[in-house]
Structure 1
């Protein structure tokens, strides 16, 4: 099955990963690791509908549905005095994922690779 998605869907999913990470005090990589490939595919499919809901509602659903545990990472303090919005961080990840999407790689593989590699080399959250 070929997943139909667009850049806006990816932006929404990346933004929600950041929202969930901040609310649960986890690194974004840890949130991605809690989501199966099937869940990530589902979230890309429903992004066009979920974007009409509040971030808080979708965030709470993700936390409950995917058993995202409370972490101990203070992701807001890691930003220092310039705290970017969740959407700003989502846009950064979306751009990096799109720029690094390898030919023959599906978007889920790219999401996993980017979140894993960025969080190994820097403290984006």
Structure 2
């Protein structure tokens, strides 16, 4: 993809968070349901889909990609104020854009971030990871562990 996709990536990451919450799935499990081609299509379609409700697009993804309900409920187990879907979408967007240069393309970067340890750390709303400094998240991601 040879264009600026910053806002489309933000929408895509926010939608993945929304679907994960609705279906009680880890965010990487949502991404795993999409082929590289489907992920690229959804990134391009984000420019149009953002005009639709998350609920509608979510239902389409659930049907089109066979997303079943899981057992991961990080919202009801949260002891504190739950961050919004868009808060988490922005965290992922920033991290993916920060590490993208290390990958062949944006799709590879998206999958690498969502399949890494950092995705589960971001989803732990009882920790402070999701609102950590973006440089800390990038450095931790690159180190393969949360830094002290």
TM-score after normalising by structure 1: 0.90
1:28 equivalenced with 2:27 (yes/no): yes
Unaligned runs of 5+ in 2: 125-148
Partner of 2:76: 77
Q: Does the Cα contact within 8 Å between 2:103 and 2:109 map onto a contact in 1? A: no
Rounded to whole Å, the distance in 2 between the matches of 1:3 and 1:43 is 16
- Which ranges of structure 1 fall in alignment gaps of 5 or more residues? none
Name the CA distance, whole Å, in 2 between partners of 1:82 and 1:124. 13
Please show how residues 1-125 of structure 1 align to structure 2 within 5 Å: 2=1, 4-103=3-102, 105-117=104-116, 118-119=118-119, 122=121, 124=123
1:102 is paired with a residue whose SS is helix
Alignment RMSD (CA, Å) = 1.6
CA 1:80–1:91 in 2, change beyond 3 Å: closer, same or farther?
Answer: same
Matched residue count? 123
- Pick closer, same or farther for the CA change 1:114–1:26 going to 2, 3 Å: same
